[in-house]
Amino acid sequence: MTTFTVLAIVAVLAALGVVLFSSPVRSAICLVVNFFVLAFVYFILNAELLGITQIIVYTGAIMVLFLFVIMLLNLGGPQAWKERREFRTVLGFGFGAALAGVIASQLITHFREHSRPFADDGYGSPQAIGRVLFTQYVWPFEVASVLLLVGIVGSILLAKRKL
Amino acid sequence: MTDWLIQQSPAIQATVRVLVFVLPLLLLVPGLIWWERRLLSWMQDRIGPNRVGPFGLLQPIADGVKLFFKEDITPSTVDRAIYFVAPAVALFPAFAIGGTLPWGPHYGPLMHWTPIANVNIGILYVLAISSLGVYGVVLSGYASNNKYSLLGGLRSSAQLISYELAMGVSLACMVMATGSLKMTDMIAAQMEPLWGIQSLGWLQNWFLFTPFGLISAVVFLICMVAETNRTPFDLPEAENEIIAGYHTEYSSMKFAVFFMGEYATMFVFSGVFATVFLGGWNLLPINWDVVAAQVPALAGIARAMDGLTYWLAPIWFLGKCATGITFYIWLRATLPRLRYDQLMSLGWKSLLPLAVANFIVVAIWIMGTKLYGPGGGWAGGLLGLAIVYALYLNFVSATRKSGWGAKDRLAMVDKSARTIDLVDPNVAGGTR
Amino acid sequence: MGDYIAIVILVGLAAVICGAMVSLSFVLGPKNTTPYKQSPYECGVQPLGDARERFPIKFYLVAMLFILFDIEVVFLWSWLTVFKNADLAYQTFSFGAVMVYMVLWIIGDAYVIRVNAIDWDETTSLHPAKLGEPDPAALPVTARDLELVGGAR
């Protein structure tokens, strides 16, 4: 439990950093930390493969792309943008609170039933997932490969000047 | 010691395991730097550092102390927070990467000492943490607000992610051959009879000695050198092009931290290579207990060797790591730096297809072994190799047809040569 | 789960060591800053403009392709742990499934190589007609070219 508390505090602080920093690069770093710590939360919930996938895909790959895009657009200059205060800010807070309420209304009942989320040993192990993925979910697996192929072709078509 | 350790709470046991791994690594870094400087000087017919301490052994420590007390210059234009964080981020993976690395047998006397965490995803953890190495580079390049740093950081990050891919696939082949992601299981799989043939039971099945393992090892070795930014892949630090790349603006210990990270990562990656391809902590690829059982005449020696391998395992593992480091230094002394387009095409057009082809061959191999025994594995593997090679040749010829080659280029030069005022044909390269 | 506590501790300790290394020199070193010392290093020349310029989109393309291929491998890791020691029915079925997957992968990879997506020097791989207006002066003239041309000046 103490492990979870430490991880949760770091994760929440990092998440706050994402929102509160005005420089996009700093926000991105906080997001990296958040994803990384989140992976460890998955680990202690017995979701091993999910956690390590989180680090490999999100922390190691997608955030690099994020940083590249931020640097590509040169957003992170010293004169970072300041948001103007207007009615939309208030509206944003309102919608945010509403969303939090909706999520909480679904979650709180579960929290009442269990003192902490629980999964059996080996539930999220690579072996268990490999078993299921290639028997029950083999069709989505193949479709995913087509999707990735489309992604490859699409990104090249978009980014390449001349083929 | 072990008795004392078992009585402690899990958290304290874990802390002890971590300290036993991290502190020696921290202390080894100056030694590695000394070894690189000495060996490199011998290779270049110089003497190298020999003044501070015996054989100059204390030189890196003296350098470190000096660097700690040097002025920490922060250029006025940098993004201060990121500028401070970046070296720490660069050093972080170096220490965190070894979390699942067994530096001795995980049973017997070292049971509670190694690896730090024998988790189900051992090798993936190494891959995941090494993928964090990009951030140190890209952030320091960005934060420095220096054109050379930015260029170096960008080039380096593109290089790191390109080679990570081939590294992942080459490790995937070995995971498939093992059937587990645990690093201790990978060592156990390499202690089985060679090529799965029972009569060769006295030889260990080190993956380097299997055909597909050899291909994977070559790919992994190249990627490993590229991941640590070492020659011939040290483009981020190509001093004649971009000063010192991403750490141009760093001074005092912050500058040295990048190198600490580099050396520690080199060491741990050597350990990973030893674990995945060289049988981990085993001294020789021989199953001594099988020898003792089969050849009674050699039973005494075999049993002695078995004990030696088993009880001094960390020393053999360290020896393999040291060999890896020496290989790195040898490469640095031998090979010139790659050009950037060569670097990218090597990673994407040679190593990645090779690793993927190898992946398919291993899959066919395992199917063949399951259906027809070890012979079927060999046949299936060779058949797969032949198919892949045929496809490759077909593909290469197709690419050649579509591209434009040296002939077209020469025709163009021929046409343009008359219009360009050539100054002196004896001065080669770029003379207009 | 107990094993992961060790990893959490390792990660924490690594972070502490890194933080200490970086901040120690800041604490211990002298601080005599001058404006010239604090200027960016550009070989003694006065820096021109902001260093954070926009850079070629090729880097973005590399990162994009990296993500896509990385995810392709991620799907396979779980299979790798089961395949070798599974029963024959699972093995043959999943072998077929993965081979279909690999064929699609190879098509993607072949496309990447075929259109020279990861190509830094387009003049060596792209047909001149596609490069637009050919600029003869942009072509590097090597000694070998001159030999072949036969000293036509």
pLDDT at B270 over 90: yes
Residue A95: what pLDDT?
92
In a domain, A65, yes or no: yes
Is there a domain that residue A18 lies in?
yes
Q: C55 φ, ψ to 5°? A: -125, 165
In a domain, C147, yes or no: no
pLDDT at B423: 45
pLDDT per position as a tens digit, B42-53: 988 888 888 887
A152: in domain: no
Core vs surface per residue B310-337: b (16+ CB within 10 A) or e: beebbebbbebbbebbebbbeebeeeeb
C:85-124 residues touching chain B, CB 8 A cutoff = 85, 88, 91-92, 95, 98-99, 102, 105-106, 109-110, 112-114, 118-121, 124
Peptide bond into B115 cis (omega under 30): yes
Domain positions in chain B: 2-353
| Rounded CA separation B334/B317 (Å) | 26
Closest CA to B17 of B119, B133, B131, B89: B119
Query: Among B271, B94, B310, B289, which Cα is nearest to B183's?
Result: B271
Residue B409 pLDDT level (bands cut at 50, 70, 90): low
Mean pLDDT of A35-39: 91
Instruction: Pick C108 or A83 by higher pLDDT.
Output: C108
Contact B429/C143, CB-based, under 8 Å? yes
Give mean pLDDT, residues B33-57: 87
Taking CB atoms and an 8 Å limit, are A60 and B134 in contact across chains?
yes
The proportion of chain B whose per-residue pLDDT surpasses 70, expressed as a percent, equals 89
CA distance B412 to B400: 18
Secondary structure (H, E, C), B114-143: CCCCCCCCHHHHHHHHHCCHHHHHHHHHHH
Residue C88 covered by a domain: yes
**Could you read off the pLDDT of A108-137 as tens digits, one per residue?**
777 666 665 566 777 778 888 888 888 888
Which candidate from B81, B120, B129 shows the least CB-CB separation from A26? B81
Q: Does residue A156 contact residue C61 with C-beta atoms inside 8 Å?
A: yes
> Given a cut of 70, is residue C1 above it in pLDDT?
no
pLDDT in tens, C22-42: 888 777 777 777 777 777 776
The distance of Cα B134 from the centroid of its chain, to the nearest Å, equals 15
Chains in contact with A, where contact means 3 or more Cβ–Cβ distances below 8 Å, are B, C
Q: Given CA atoms B352, B353, B358, B363 in this order, what sign does their dihedral have?
A: positive
pLDDT single digits (tens) C71-82 = 988 888 889 888
Average pLDDT over residues B110-118: 80
More confident residue, B244 or B190: B190
User: Residue B326 — very low, low, confident or very high, per pLDDT cuts 50/70/90?
Assistant: very high
Residue C54 is part of a domain; what is its CATH number? 1.20.58.1610
ipTM over 0.90: no
Domain that holds residue A81: 2-91
**Within a domain: A28:** yes
How much is the pLDDT for B26?
87
On whether any CB of chain A is under 8 Å from the CB of B124, the answer is yes
CB contact under 8 A, C40 and B146: yes
Please check whether residue A10 lies inside any domain of the structure: yes
Domain annotation covers residue A55: yes
pLDDT grade, residue C153 (50/70/90)?
very low
Contact of B356 with chain A, judged by CB distance below 8 Å, is answered with no
Q: If you measure CA to CA, which chain B residue comes closest to C142?
A: B429
Are B268 and C10 in contact by the 8 Å Cβ rule? The answer is no
Q: Is A97 exposed, middle or buried (0-12, 13-18, 19+ CB in 10 A)?
A: exposed
Please tell me the number of Cα atoms within 13 Å of B133 on its side-chain side. Answer: 33
pTM for the full model? Answer: 0.85
Structural domain that includes position C9: 2-129
Report CB contact under 8 Å: B367, C33.
no
Whether B306 contacts chain A with CB within 8 A: no
Using a CB–CB cutoff of 8 Å, tell me whether B226 touches chain C: no
Domain count, chain C: 1
What's the pLDDT score for residue B222? Answer: 92
Collect all residues of chain C within an 8 Å Cβ-Cβ radius of residue B116. 6-7, 10
What's A59's domain CATH number? 1.20.120.1200
Give me the mean pLDDT over the B143-166 stretch: 85
Structure confidence by residue, pLDDT tens digits, A59-73: 888 898 888 888 777
CB contact under 8 A, B419 and C43: no
**Based on the structure, what is the number of domains in chain A?**
1
